[in-house]
Structure 1
Amino acid sequence: MTTIIIDCIIIMSLRIVDVSLATTRTILLTKGKAKTAAVLGFFEILIYTKVLTDIVTNLGQWYYLIAYALGFSFGNYIGTKIERRLAFGDVQIRMIVNPNYYHIIDELRQSKFGVTTFAGEGRDGERKMILITAKRKRVNELYGFLKKNNIDAFVSVNDITSYSGGYMISSNKKK
């Protein structure tokens, strides 16, 4: 019985690692990081093949199948958490603010955010749209800035897969 429990823990653990790698690899591919994704894919397949072999040779043992499925579920969850923490890539942030908050435009620039503004009109009158392109790692910094300063703004964030031209202050590189 102890051997079965240990085997199930090993199967589940290896499956968590394999699926976490697969999830991270897939996200890296969508971000254009093919070399890193290829390295992860190599290790992912090594682990996957080992676990699959263990399961196929023991198909009659339902508890191994449960461990395999649990590892898959937890692996998806953990893989997305890992990727969020690594925060690969760039984002485009759109903020819509009313005139009471226009002062944040200069404050954002002082915080090394590249800011472009557009005049607009909303249901309640004049508005500015603030457009920022930044590293994904800076999104929480921006949300913290808004919360700390009690800024009431509509904010949307979208991943960017590629862009060219312009200047991204946070990396000090021309793109």
Structure 2
Amino acid sequence: MAPDFLQSDLYLYGVLPLLIFFARICDVTIGTLRIIYVSKGQRRIAPILGFFEVFIWIVAISQIMKNLNNFACYFGYAAGFATGNYIGMLVEERLAIGKVLVRVFSTDNVADLVQILNASGFGATSFQAHGAQGEVSIVYSVINRKNLPDVQSLLLNFNPNLFYVVEDIRKVNKGIFQATVKPKISIFERWRKGK
């Protein structure tokens, strides 16, 4: 029964294009993550992702090569590629891998801003510089990318018209970073809190 179903119009023009569509979503999403891990210097994860990316791609393209006159498969392949790019960006944004540099430029005294960032658990360094409109203060802060929305909120609360730039960083050695994971509490401490 299975071979007859695999030759039916329902499979060839309905199920197969959908399978190719979902396969492409998977391999392009994995490919997006692989590129990010390569750019971050993650040598262990990137090759594993690359293996699965190419394996899924070979399976999808082999089905297209078996059905060259099936334009529904072409459509599934192209739509899966486009959707995979979109989903890959969403997943990458959600994972927020790595660290970023936030560089703030201000003509105001930024000692208060440095204090606000430090009090919130973010390391910050400031120095004076000369810009197009005279003296400026520059604040540097290297943060976990997951904390970027929190830092942006602090900056905009400090001054809604503040000019700042965010850049990806490949590697960092030491620094002051806000914890992104909650500290582990032993089972005995949890029991004590309940009493």
TM over 0.5: yes
- Correspondence for 1:80: 89
Q: Does 1:136 align with 2:152?
A: no
TM-score w.r.t. length of structure 1: 0.88
Alignment correspondent of 1:71: 80
Higher strand proportion (structure 1 or 2): 1
Corresponding residue SS for 1:16? helix
Matched, 1:24 2:33: yes
Confirm or deny: 8 A CA contact 2:123 2:177 kept in the other structure. Answer: yes
Structure (1 or 2) with the larger CA radius of gyration: 2
Cα deviation, 1:34-84, whole Å, max 9, x if unaligned, reads 211222222222211111110111111112111101111111121122111
Q: Distance in 1 between matches of 2:99 and 2:169?
A: 5
Cα deviation, 1:2-34, whole Å, max 9, x if unaligned, reads 321222111101110111001111111110112
Q: Is the 8 A contact 1:91 1:158 kept in 2?
A: yes
The corresponding residue for 1:112 is: 121
- Secondary structure class of the residue paired with 1:170: coil
Partner Cα distance (1:101, 1:152) in 2: 14
8 A contact 1:97–1:152 mirrored in 2? no
Partner of 2:165: 156
SS at structure 1 position matched to 2:86? helix
* Aligned residues between the structures: 171
Query: What is the Cα-based RMSD across aligned positions, in Å?
Result: 2.0
The equivalent of 2:178 in structure 1 is: 170
1:2–1:147 CA distance, 2 compared to 1 (3 A): farther
SS of 2:146's equivalent in the other structure is helix
CA contact (8 A) 1:119 1:126 kept: yes
Mapped to 1, the partners of 2:85 and 2:105 lie a distance apart of 34
Match of 1:40 among 49, 54, 67: 49
Opposite residue 97 of structure 2, the aligned amino acid is F
CA contact (8 A) 1:101 1:151 kept: no
Which of these residues, 72, 77, 89, is aligned with residue 98 of structure 2?
89
Identity between Structure 1 and Structure 2 (%): 32
> Which consecutive residues of structure 1, in runs of 5 or more, have no partner in the other structure?
none
Structure 2 unaligned runs (5+)?
1-8, 181-195
